[in-house]
Amino acid sequence: MRQIVLDTETTGIDPKQGHRIVEIGAVELENRRPTGRTYHQYINPNRHIDDEVIRIHGITNERVANEPFFSAIADDFMAFIKDAELLIHNAPFDIGHLNAELARLDHNVWGKIEQHAKVTDTLAMSKKQYPGQRHSLDALCKRLGVDNSKRSFHGALLDSQILADVYLAMTGGQTGLGLSHDINTNGGTQSKATQLANSLLSQLPLFTLSDAQEQAHHAMMARMQKKGACVWQ
């Protein structure tokens, strides 16, 4: 199963108001493991980047002035994501911007992103899995023990790498990008939370019950059962 964890940075919020993409970052997973293949591209948006947005991602107008336009990188980008499942946090935002960029092409042979890749919104997954809690990427990192200490600014490639760790932790705990996890002795990986739990468990003393203690335990459960259901029976 081929998956692409993807993120974009933009000049502003709404592509309907002419806002454009300034950075794309993506990480490839194959059968829930990183392949080492990534896609990273800065893009000249051919418009001004809003100051409040620069404070979020740190990408200035000067930084992207000499980068290629989206039209120059569209084919390479689409070839990278084609036939994969895209994992995106708040997918409607990124897909909206990407589809708007495709629609601006003089000869748009690609149509829309959804015609070439399945889109999975990890924000929607988080809301379903953790109702009533915060669902930002930083909040999920804290909840799942994923290291985001390098995230001083939002950055498309770094955020994709972090989201890959978050996604794997949300869907079974298997990780492996090396941002916040260590290889265990079995060749798999463990989150920091799992490592801490295993470390604490290894330090707990073990007690062996005597026959008399075990009989007293069962007698207590029997008395509890008479008063109602005993969940330990």
Is 219 within the bounds of a domain?
no
Is 126 within the bounds of a domain?
yes
Pick the more confident residue, 203 or 52: 52
Model pTM score: 0.73
Is 200 within the bounds of a domain?
no
How far apart CA 85 and CA 28 sit, in angstroms, is 10
Is 232 within the bounds of a domain?
no
Is 8 within the bounds of a domain?
yes
Cα torsion 170, 175, 179, 181: sign:
positive
- Res. 133: pLDDT tops 50: yes
51-55, 196-200, 219-223, range with greatest mean pLDDT: 51-55
pLDDT band at 215 (very low <50, low <70, confident <90, very high): confident
The mean per-residue pLDDT over the stretch 199-219 comes to 67
CA proximity to 27, closest of 197, 168, 231, 172: 168
- In DSSP terms, 88 is beta-bridged to 121
Is 65 within the bounds of a domain?
yes
The mean per-residue pLDDT over the stretch 25-35 comes to 95
Is 19 considered catalytic here? Answer: no
- The active-site residue, picked from 154, 181, 217, 218, is 154
Contact 2, 30 (CB under 8 A): yes
How far apart CA 215 and CA 93 sit, in angstroms, is 62
Supply the pLDDT for residue 199: 54
Is 221 within the bounds of a domain?
no
Q: Is 226 helix (H, G, I), strand (E, B) or coil?
A: helix
Both tokens of residue 128? 């379903």
Q: How many Cβ atoms sit within 10 Å of the Cβ of residue 121?
A: 18
Supply the pLDDT for residue 183: 32
Is 7 within the bounds of a domain?
yes
Pick the more confident residue, 194 or 39: 39
Q: Is 34 helix (H, G, I), strand (E, B) or coil?
A: strand
Q: What are phi and psi of 160, to 5 degrees?
A: -65, -40
Supply the pLDDT for residue 48: 94
How far apart CA 46 and CA 23 sit, in angstroms, is 13
Of all residues in the chain, what percent are helix, strand and coil, respectively (each to 5)? 45, 20, 40
How far apart CA 69 and CA 42 sit, in angstroms, is 9
Q: Is 216 helix (H, G, I), strand (E, B) or coil?
A: helix
The mean per-residue pLDDT over the stretch 207-229 comes to 73
- Res. 125: pLDDT tops 90: yes
Average confidence score pLDDT of the chain: 84
- Res. 148: pLDDT tops 80: no
Contact 29, 164 (CB under 8 A): yes
Domain boundaries, position 98: 2-190
The mean per-residue pLDDT over the stretch 184-212 comes to 53
Q: Is 37 helix (H, G, I), strand (E, B) or coil?
A: strand
Q: Domain total for the chain?
A: 1
- Res. 129: pLDDT tops 80: yes
Question: Domain holding 104: CATH number?
Answer: 3.30.420.10
CA proximity to 62, closest of 42, 76, 40: 42
